[in-house]
């Protein structure tokens, strides 16, 4: 079998590369090892799919790590506005929500996948599912792509868009790193990002971080974990300390889940925290449940509430701990009280304001690739041309998406990076056919 361009991986970057290549007049074949393309898109945004973020480059780039400039040309070549126009033009309506985040109007990730797949096919690309690639061999000016089923495909250009290591059940198992390394590329150390961070005493462990802090998601919860799980805290302030120094502060929402601390604010600090834990640093969270209220004002409010509770005739016969729970119910969701008390055993009326504004968690570890949103690290951007996404080491070899050493914050940044680099790689590969 022969093809002008073979694209390995049928995710966001691979499908958009197929669109870019085919619309540029090249014959493109997508090889996807899973039964259906776009499996990871299907679970993004909790199934709603935050497709992109409409910030301009200056504001967008601060959410891309570690070196955003690899993305700059691709971003301007296919911007977030271009992404919205693309999907709208192919029949998918979109809505923009808080924080410039764009979603399909249906709030169904499946609609994004279907639109992208149909666009690629209508442009002339062929998508072969259930087709796992076992090796890529450079032959003169072209390549031979070998599949696990024994098929050999001769291609003039190859685009590797295999994703990273996150959510391996969707097909992201790190294959692209192996092929890149074989062709001489350096792989920057990979680690999970946008993942749950696990506080001490939240999971039942032996107290040892045997794998640089990785605590599998399926690890059973402690009583503390059970009491906190399911709570969502809105409009809180989250301060991160690394080795005793304040390193990062976020304002927003966090969720206590079966994995640990997640949610938008938790995810935004996860990259730095995972890196710190892996390096042996001590990480601590300080959560301010009342960031809009100064401690002195909160103290007065608590004192007034306590006076009212103790004077209430319904409190007659109640012990102090029962009345204290009534007080907590006036300051936080009732479902949070047990978890708060278990982690702040010394909290009382006199120090409650400080505890509410400085609720501390020491971070023991993190959930790994099994449930992280994105992989940090990957193929060194120093060896990829930012104007084409072509390898600087192997002519005709291109990379796109998460397999590259770029990752974004939560909020639509990662999918846009995949769309932008995929489109640029497809167009650039087609330009030389």
Residue-level pLDDT at 138: 96
What is the DSSP track for 263-332? HHHHHHHHHHHHHHHHTT--EEEEEES-TTS-HHHHHHHHHHHHHHHHHSGGGTT--HHHHHHHHHHTTS
Residues of the chain by 3-state class (helix, strand, coil), percent to 5: 40, 25, 35
Asked if 391 and 185 count as a contact pair (C-beta separation under 8 A), the reply is yes
Q: Which residues of 185-212 are buried (b: 16+ CB within 10 A; e: fewer)?
A: bebbebbbbbbbbbbbbbbebeeebeee
CATH of the domain at 397: 3.50.50.60
Residue-level pLDDT at 345: 81
CB within 8 A of 51, min separation 6: which ones?
83, 84, 87, 94, 102, 103, 104, 112, 412, 415, 416
Whether residues 356 and 303 share a domain: the answer is yes
- Domain boundary (371, 400, 415) is at 371
Residue-level pLDDT at 13: 98
Look at the block and give the residue holding tokens 């834990």.
Answer: 277
What is the average per-residue pLDDT within 358-364? 97
What is the average per-residue pLDDT within 356-379? 97
Helix (H, G, I), strand (E, B) or coil at 29: strand
- Fill in the DSSP letter of residue 373: S
Predicted confidence (pLDDT) per residue in 221-269, tens digit: 999 999 999 999 999 999 999 999 999 999 999 999 999 999 999 999 9
Residue-level pLDDT at 373: 95
Whether residues 366 and 402 share a domain: the answer is no
Cα–Cα distance, 85 to 20 (Å, whole number): 15
Residue-level pLDDT at 203: 96
Which region, left, alpha or beta, applies to residue 194 given φ > 0 means left and ψ of -120 to 50 means alpha? Answer: left
User: Taking CA 64 as the corner, what is the angle to CA 63 and CA 69, rounded to the nearest 5 degrees?
Assistant: 125
Cα–Cα distance, 37 to 369 (Å, whole number): 20
Distances (CA, A) of 431 to 7, 120, 124, 240: 15, 17, 16, 47
What is the average per-residue pLDDT within 336-341? 97
Q: How would residue 211 be classed by pLDDT, with cut points 50, 70 and 90?
A: low
Residue-level pLDDT at 26: 97
- Domain boundary (324, 350, 371) is at 371
Whether residues 240 and 358 share a domain: the answer is yes
The count of structural domains within the chain is: 2
pLDDT score of 414 more than 90: yes
Residue-level pLDDT at 41: 96
* Residues, the chain: 433
Whether residues 81 and 165 share a domain: the answer is yes
Residue-level pLDDT at 60: 98
Predicted confidence (pLDDT) per residue in 32-89, tens digit: 999 999 999 999 988 999 999 999 999 999 999 999 999 999 999 999 999 999 999 9
Residue-level pLDDT at 207: 60
Whether residues 229 and 256 share a domain: the answer is yes
Residue-level pLDDT at 71: 98
Q: Mean pLDDT of all residues in the chain?
A: 96
Whether residues 295 and 392 share a domain: the answer is no
Residue-level pLDDT at 346: 85
Predicted confidence (pLDDT) per residue in 387-401, tens digit: 999 999 999 999 999
Residue-level pLDDT at 143: 98
Q: How would residue 432 be classed by pLDDT, with cut points 50, 70 and 90?
A: confident
Whether residues 135 and 95 share a domain: the answer is yes
Longest dimension (CA), the chain: 90
Whether residues 164 and 19 share a domain: the answer is yes
Predicted confidence (pLDDT) per residue in 280-331, tens digit: 999 999 999 999 999 999 999 999 999 999 999 998 889 999 999 999 999 9
Q: How would residue 354 be classed by pLDDT, with cut points 50, 70 and 90?
A: very high
Residue-level pLDDT at 45: 87
Of the candidates 301, 206, 288, the residue with the CA atom closest to the CA atom of residue 254: 288
Whether residues 328 and 249 share a domain: the answer is yes
Q: Residue 80: which domain range? A: 2-191+375-431
CB within 8 A of 319, min separation 6: which ones?
none
pLDDT score of 206 more than 80: no
Residue-level pLDDT at 46: 85
- Domain boundary (350, 371, 392) is at 371
Whether residues 58 and 131 share a domain: the answer is yes
Whether residues 275 and 392 share a domain: the answer is no
Tokens of 276: 């710190």
pLDDT score of 209 more than 80: no
pLDDT score of 210 more than 80: no
Whether residues 342 and 420 share a domain: the answer is no
What is the average per-residue pLDDT within 113-139? 97
């Amino acid at each position: 079998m022969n093809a002008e361009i073979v694209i390995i991986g049928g995710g966001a970057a691979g499908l958009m590369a197929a669109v870019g290549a085919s619309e540029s007049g090249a014959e493109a074949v997508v090889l996807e090892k899973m039964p259906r393309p776009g499996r990871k898109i299907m679970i993004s945004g909790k199934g709603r799919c935050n497709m992109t973020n409409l910030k301009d480059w200056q504001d967008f780039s601060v959410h891309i790590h570690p070196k955003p400039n690899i993305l700059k040309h691709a971003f301007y070549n296919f911007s977030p506005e271009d992404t919205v126009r693309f999907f709208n033009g192919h029949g998918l309506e979109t809505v923009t929500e808080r924080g410039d985040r764009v979603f399909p109007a249906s709030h169904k990730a499946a609609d994004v996948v279907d639109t992208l797949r149909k666009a690629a096919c209508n442009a002339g690309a062929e998508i072969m599912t259930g087709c796992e690639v076992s090796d890529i061999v450079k032959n003169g000016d072209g390549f031979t792509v070998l599949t696990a089923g024994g098929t050999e495909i001769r291609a003039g250009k190859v685009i590797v868009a295999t994703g990273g290591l996150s959510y391996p059940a969707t097909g992201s198992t790190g294959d692209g790193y192996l092929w890149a390394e074989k062709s001489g590329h350096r792989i920057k150390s990979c680690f999970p990002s946008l993942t749950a961070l696990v506080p001490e005493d939240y999971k039942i462990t032996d107290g040892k971080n045997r794998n640089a802090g990785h605590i599998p998601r399926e690890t059973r919860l402690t009583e503390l974990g059970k009491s906190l799980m399911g709570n969502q805290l809105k409009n809180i302030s989250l301060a991160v300390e690394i080795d005793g120094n304040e390193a990062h502060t976020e304002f927003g929402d966090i969720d206590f889940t079966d994995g640990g601390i997640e949610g938008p604010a938790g995810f935004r600090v996860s990259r730095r925290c995972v890196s710190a834990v892996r390096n042996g640093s001590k990480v601590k969270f300080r959560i301010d449940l009342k960031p809009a209220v100064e401690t002195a004002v909160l103290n007065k409010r608590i004192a007034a509430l306590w006076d009212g509770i103790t004077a209430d005739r319904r409190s007659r016969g109640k012990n102090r701990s029962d009345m204290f729970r009534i007080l907590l119910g006036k300051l936080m969701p009732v479902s949070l009280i047990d978890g708060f008390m278990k982690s702040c055993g010394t909290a009382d009326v006199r120090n409650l304001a400080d505890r509410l504004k400085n609720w501390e968690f020491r971070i023991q570890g993190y959930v790994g690739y099994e449930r992280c949103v994105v992989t940090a690290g990957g193929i060194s951007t120093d060896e990829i041309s930012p104007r084409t996404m072509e390898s600087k080491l192997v002519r005709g070899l291109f990379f796109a998406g998460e397999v590259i050493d770029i990752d974004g914050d939560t909020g639509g940044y990662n999918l846009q990076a995949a769309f932008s680099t995929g489109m640029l790689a497809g167009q650039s590969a087609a330009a030389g056919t």
